[in-house]
Amino acid sequence: MASELYRSIQARVRRWTLARQTPARTQTLTQNRIFILPSRAGSVWLLLLLLMLVMAINYENNLVYALTFLLLGVFLSAMFHTYANLAGIEVKVLPSEPCFAGGQAAFELELQRHSSRQLEQLSLRLEHSELEQIVDLQQARQQVRLYSPARRRGWMSPGGVKLETTYPLGLFRAWSWLNLELKTLVYPEPLDTTLPEGAQGQAVSGEAHLSMRRGDDDFAGLERFQPGMSPRQVDWKSYARGRGLYAKHFAGHQDPDYWLDLDALGGETLERRLSRMTAWVQYLSTRDVRFGVRLGSFVLEPAEGEAHCTRALAALALYGLEGEA
Amino acid sequence: MKGRQISRTAVVWQLLAVMLVVLPHVQWLPLWVPALVVLAIGSRLMIHSGRWSFPHWSVKALLVIASSGGLILSFNHQAGPETMVALLVVGLALKLLEVYHRRDALVVLFVSLFVAATAFLFSESVWIAGYILLTTVLVLAALNSIQQSSSARRFRDNLKSAGRLLLPAIPFMLVLFFLFPRLEPFWSVTIDSGQAKTGLSDELSPGDVSKLAQSDELAFRATFEGEVPLPAQRYWRSLVLSEFDGRRWTRPSHEQRQVLRPEQLQPLVSAQRYEVIMEASGRPWLVALDQPLRAGQGTLMTPVRTLVMDRPLERRRQYPVESVLQYRQQPLLTRQEARHYLQLPAGGNPDSRALAQRLLTQADGNTDGVITLLQAYFNKTFVYTLEPGRLGRDSVDQFLFETREGYCEHFASATAFVLRSAGIPSRIVTGYQGGEWNPYEGYLQVRQYDAHAWVEYWQPEAGWQRLDPTAAVAPERIRTSAQDYFSTNEGFSSAGMGLGIDWLRDLRQRYDAFNYSWHRWVLNYQGQQVQLLDDWLGGEDRWRRLLAWLLPTMLVFGTVGYWLLRPRPTLPRDPMARALMRLQQRFATLESGREPAESLAMWLQRVADDWPKQRALMLRLAFLDDQQRYIERKDPHQQAEMKRLCRILMRQLPRKKR
């Protein structure tokens, strides 16, 4: 009953405070955003003091009175300390990494305190998430990563961020909701399937690339190792013979470009098709294969590399959604 | 929250806290309870160090059953605070075994705090108060430690936090202690701290008072409003014993008490007002100077003008009294009363009866004459000693004619017997005589060795009069304090009161004065509260009280709040970096602040033109800063020069924009 009341108060406070704030990339925990109530341990503490007061009255014992009042003073003092453990923190949004649907979206925040006081045991969590992060803010600024389950592809805003603390005695719970401009891109959930037969065939119609490309299929000779080369390429045998570091040089086949076409995949729901394509994009880019993507009117010319992969995944994530990039 | 594991440091804190709160109770707890606590702490330490694992549930169940049985056996269904505390302590010990999560630790610490508070029910000394304060700090530190992450391992930080939390609570406590109204107990409770209390008993047989004289325990303290009575006037009446069975004097039986009328008192001088703080005696009777005018607050007056309470004195109690030192009491006795005060056993002590008749004839039937003769008789050959021989059946005869050694009760008993045999109504009064004046706090302290017994006899018209036979034998005992008398007379040194050394005695008096203040202002504060609030607040209506509490509280916590939230810029530790930071702040107030994207050198070069006088210094500083930043090894000379430049610039720059 009491805990239900507590929860309803908390929910009301959350809605009210979040509605009052305009989302921003940086928010500071100011006085009118921090709420503080005795925690359950705090209520038990008060009950304990009541018992002690009864004992003091009944045994007419002034020292028990004194101890009771002292502990009541500690209770009030704890309120100030708990509040101060949250007050004045500045929360800044850092760019966040995209993730795949079905996984956990990670949001990077930077906490900064503006006094030399150490803040301890701050618990942070996102509005619709149960996962909390506990931070001891020992340096002036510290980065925190918060997770929230990513359910659907597209842009994801996890809602408010809750900062909470019961430090130093656990008698009070101070909390605050911040409306931050948290946003991350969620790629479709990859669906592990084999590449379609026809995908490569289409590449024939594309322009042919005849030049040698660097790949890892066939051994083509040795070259001097240079920083940045993969250690897998090092020719350890020759290094052992004392000839110095050499890297094996492989030549890739002259593969035709792949084309991943949404419309070519018939028979399944849109989401499933997007999921398949996501898996292929991942698969192809880990193998440094050139590919292009065709999503209805949107066409991504064949290329390779990380930037290309990101662009392809973003296109898949936002296909058919509002605010398409 | 409940699932969160507490740190290893926190476990150690728990063990320490439990050990400390149980310690004051060890002296009265049945031995197996502290043993169980030690066992539990030991086992938890073994678990802590990884040598043992947590006990199986069957072991825990067995322990619970065994200790429940132990509690039932030890406390035998008594429902007193002792049982409660023992139960809590046993619970603490068992809970310690499974402290692992935050919630377990919370239970342990909250119960610990309560057990710490119960220590005051058993002792209220300054030492215990200090000890419990210390324990509270440690419990708070323990509470703090369980809130920390499980990797925290610094005991000192916990202690610091506890101190910071407790410090503002102290003025808060003082104010509340001062103002909080003391209520009447909700239900009556008794507490037996297991220590037998010494004090006067309601009967007197030879040897009773001399036994008390072995004890230097405090009986009561008294403070006087006006003049302090002279030592020879300090007769503190406590009990009147008027029935004799040949050996023992007792209070009148129930039927006899119906016969006795409340005695009238006509004061002959003005009354003396004073206050007595009586130590717990476990008995209902109080003391009052010979004779009290009326019963004060919370006390009752018996027909024979002694003060009693309606229940045994289980706690120290303070009460005001008014007494007159010269009076006429009960000038008329009814026949029944006279018969009561002449009662003697049918037979026994024949020689004493004969002595009474002899004295009566010698004095021509004059009461005063009998008394003078009896005292002269005592004065001749009798010895006043704490260690008289044992008396047999006809105790009065034996004392008067054989041993001739005795303490005050022997003389009083013999005197009353002889007077009654001579037809003079008389009775025994027990109480205390004398007391030691404490000059530091201005009060009289009376200890158990001041216990005394004397006689009151009745004469028509004059009424009841005091007669102290001891004064005839050992007049110094009455004129000086018992302590002085004992320490200067051989034969009393065995009483262990040979405080001949002055400075030791002085020290003892100072200590006692300190204890007295403690009792008066802390333990018995309710006695002073109303008066004090009147004096300080000019009345004690609710609003004044609330205001008197609110203002200091707001002041204290306002300060705490400001202290906690005051802006504390994070200045770098490195003196070089700090000097540069200060310089930048100064320039910022002069509206030449550094832009976020600027390096220190770029900024200095940009603003240098605005400060023609300092230009050279600033450019030099910019150059040096660049040097320092990109050089592989720092050059201490350059650093020193930079600091010097900063200092000079700070001195030359104006503090505010003109």
How far, in Å, CA of B110 to CA of B102, rounded?
12
Mean pLDDT of B258-285: 87
**3-state class of B234 per DSSP?**
coil
Band (pLDDT 50/70/90 cuts) for residue A219 is low
Residue of chain A with shortest Cα separation from B143: A169
How far, in Å, CA of B529 to CA of B531, rounded?
5
Q: Look at B176 and A88 and tell me if their CB atoms are within 8 Å.
A: no
Task: Give the minimum alpha-carbon distance from B6 to chain A in angstroms, rounded to a whole number.
Answer: 13
Q: Look at A57 and B185 and tell me if their CB atoms are within 8 Å.
A: yes
Q: Look at A59 and B172 and tell me if their CB atoms are within 8 Å.
A: no
| Cross-strand pairs, A259 | A292
Residue range B131-162, pLDDT digits in tens? 999 999 999 999 999 888 767 667 888 999 99
Partner residue facing B570 (CB), from A67, A116, A170? A116
| Contacts with B571 from chain A: Cβ below 8 Å | 116
pLDDT at A145 over 60: yes
Band (pLDDT 50/70/90 cuts) for residue A65 is very high
pLDDT at B59 over 60: yes
Q: pLDDT value at position B260?
A: 86
Partner residue facing A58 (CB), from B118, B132, B185? B185
pLDDT at B222 over 50: yes
Q: Look at B120 and A67 and tell me if their CB atoms are within 8 Å.
A: yes
Contacts 24+ apart (CB under 8 A), B141-145: B141/B13, B142/B10, B142/B13, B142/B14, B142/B16, B142/B17, B142/B105, B142/B109, B142/B112, B143/A169, B143/A170, B143/B106, B143/B109, B144/A168, B144/A169, B145/B6, B145/B7, B145/B9, B145/B10, B145/B13
Band (pLDDT 50/70/90 cuts) for residue B41 is very high
- Residues 6 or more apart in contact with residue B643 via CB below 8 angstroms: B575, B576, B579
Residue of A28, A48, A71, A139 to mutate for B, most B C-beta atoms under 10 A: A71
Q: Look at A65 and B180 and tell me if their CB atoms are within 8 Å.
A: yes
Active-site residue identified among B468, B519, B625, B646: B468
Residue of B172, B313, B554 to mutate for A, most A C-beta atoms under 10 A: B172
ipTM of the complex: 0.78
Partner residue facing B568 (CB), from A54, A76, A117? A117
Is residue B408 within 8 Å of residue B453, measured between CB atoms?
yes
Q: Look at B176 and A69 and tell me if their CB atoms are within 8 Å.
A: yes
pLDDT at B623 over 50: yes
Partner residue facing B191 (CB), from A59, A84, A140? A59
Band (pLDDT 50/70/90 cuts) for residue B192 is low
Least confident of B152-156, B192-196, B430-434, B588-592: B192-196
* Gyration radius of chain A's alpha carbons: 29
Q: Look at B144 and A84 and tell me if their CB atoms are within 8 Å.
A: no
pLDDT at B396 over 90: no
Higher per-residue pLDDT: A10 or B568: A10
Count Cα atoms within 13 angstroms, Cβ side, for A40.
Answer: 13
Which helix (H) or strand (E) element contains residue B261? none
Task: Give the minimum alpha-carbon distance from B137 to chain A in angstroms, rounded to a whole number.
Answer: 10
Backbone dihedral region of B88: left (phi > 0), alpha (psi from -120 to 50 degrees) or beta? alpha
Band (pLDDT 50/70/90 cuts) for residue B540 is low
Mean pLDDT of B25-50: 91
pLDDT at A205 over 50: no
pLDDT at A174 over 90: yes
Band (pLDDT 50/70/90 cuts) for residue A24 is confident
Band (pLDDT 50/70/90 cuts) for residue B490 is low
Residue of chain B with shortest Cα separation from A71: B169
How far, in Å, CA of B109 to CA of B115, rounded?
10
pLDDT at A90 over 70: yes
Q: pLDDT value at position B16?
A: 93
| Catalytic status, residue B351 | no
- DSSP labels, B478-490: HHS-HHHHHHHST
Band (pLDDT 50/70/90 cuts) for residue B391 is confident
Q: pLDDT value at position A217?
A: 55
Q: pLDDT value at position B52?
A: 87
Q: Look at A57 and B522 and tell me if their CB atoms are within 8 Å.
A: no
Partner residue facing A69 (CB), from B120, B124, B173? B173
Average pLDDT, chain B: 84
Q: Look at B526 and A60 and tell me if their CB atoms are within 8 Å.
A: yes
Band (pLDDT 50/70/90 cuts) for residue A133 is confident
Task: Give the minimum alpha-carbon distance from A52 to chain B in angstroms, rounded to a whole number.
Answer: 7
pLDDT at B51 over 90: no
Q: pLDDT value at position B117?
A: 95
Band (pLDDT 50/70/90 cuts) for residue A198 is low
Is residue A189 within 8 Å of residue A100, measured between CB atoms?
yes
Band (pLDDT 50/70/90 cuts) for residue B514 is confident
Band (pLDDT 50/70/90 cuts) for residue A296 is confident
Task: Give the minimum alpha-carbon distance from B153 to chain A in angstroms, rounded to a whole number.
Answer: 14
Residue of A69, A90, A166 to mutate for B, most B C-beta atoms under 10 A: A69
Residue of chain A with shortest Cα separation from B317: A60
User: Percentage of residues in chain B with pLDDT exceeding 70?
Assistant: 92
How far, in Å, CA of B10 to CA of B147, rounded?
9
Is residue B319 within 8 Å of residue B281, measured between CB atoms?
no
Residue of A52, A74, A82, A134 to mutate for B, most B C-beta atoms under 10 A: A74
Mean pLDDT of B13-35: 92
Band (pLDDT 50/70/90 cuts) for residue A67 is very high
Least confident of A71-75, A218-222, B132-136, B285-289: A218-222
Residue B182's Cβ-count burial label (10 Å; 0-12, 13-18, 19+) is middle
Q: Look at B120 and A58 and tell me if their CB atoms are within 8 Å.
A: no
Q: pLDDT value at position B569?
A: 65
pLDDT at B1 over 60: no
| Contacts with B189 from chain A: Cβ below 8 Å | 58-59
Least confident of A115-124, B146-155, B156-165, B551-560: B146-155
Mean pLDDT of A170-177: 92
Residue of chain A with shortest Cα separation from B84: A55
| Contacts with A115 from chain B: Cβ below 8 Å | 566-570
Partner residue facing A54 (CB), from B180, B186, B565? B186
What is the pairing mode between strands A119-126 and B463-467?
unpaired
Mean pLDDT of A293-304: 85
How far, in Å, CA of A24 to CA of A18, rounded?
12
Task: Give the minimum alpha-carbon distance from B567 to chain A in angstroms, rounded to a whole number.
Answer: 6
Q: Look at A59 and B113 and tell me if their CB atoms are within 8 Å.
A: no
Active-site residue identified among B290, B394, B408, B519: B408
Q: pLDDT value at position A208?
A: 33
Q: Look at A73 and B116 and tell me if their CB atoms are within 8 Å.
A: no
| Catalytic status, residue B484 | no
Q: Look at B185 and A88 and tell me if their CB atoms are within 8 Å.
A: no
Mean pLDDT of A300-317: 88
What is the pairing mode between strands A26-28 and B249-250?
unpaired
How far, in Å, CA of B157 to CA of B141, rounded?
8
Higher per-residue pLDDT: A256 or A123: A123
Mean pLDDT of B419-424: 91
pLDDT at A179 over 70: yes
| Catalytic status, residue B646 | no
Mean pLDDT of A138-160: 87
Partner residue facing A70 (CB), from B136, B143, B526? B136
Q: pLDDT value at position B486?
A: 66
Active-site residue identified among B25, B340, B410, B452: B452
Partner residue facing B166 (CB), from A65, A74, A87? A74
Residue range B575-615, pLDDT digits in tens? 888 888 888 888 888 888 888 788 888 888 888 888 888 88
Band (pLDDT 50/70/90 cuts) for residue B113 is very high
Q: pLDDT value at position B571?
A: 65
E strands present in B460-543: 463-467
Mean pLDDT of B459-468: 89
How far, in Å, CA of B576 to CA of B646, rounded?
9
Mean pLDDT of A270-278: 87
Residue of chain B with shortest Cα separation from A49: B114
Q: Look at B144 and A67 and tell me if their CB atoms are within 8 Å.
A: no
Residue of B13, B121, B178 to mutate for A, most A C-beta atoms under 10 A: B121
Mean pLDDT of B19-23: 95
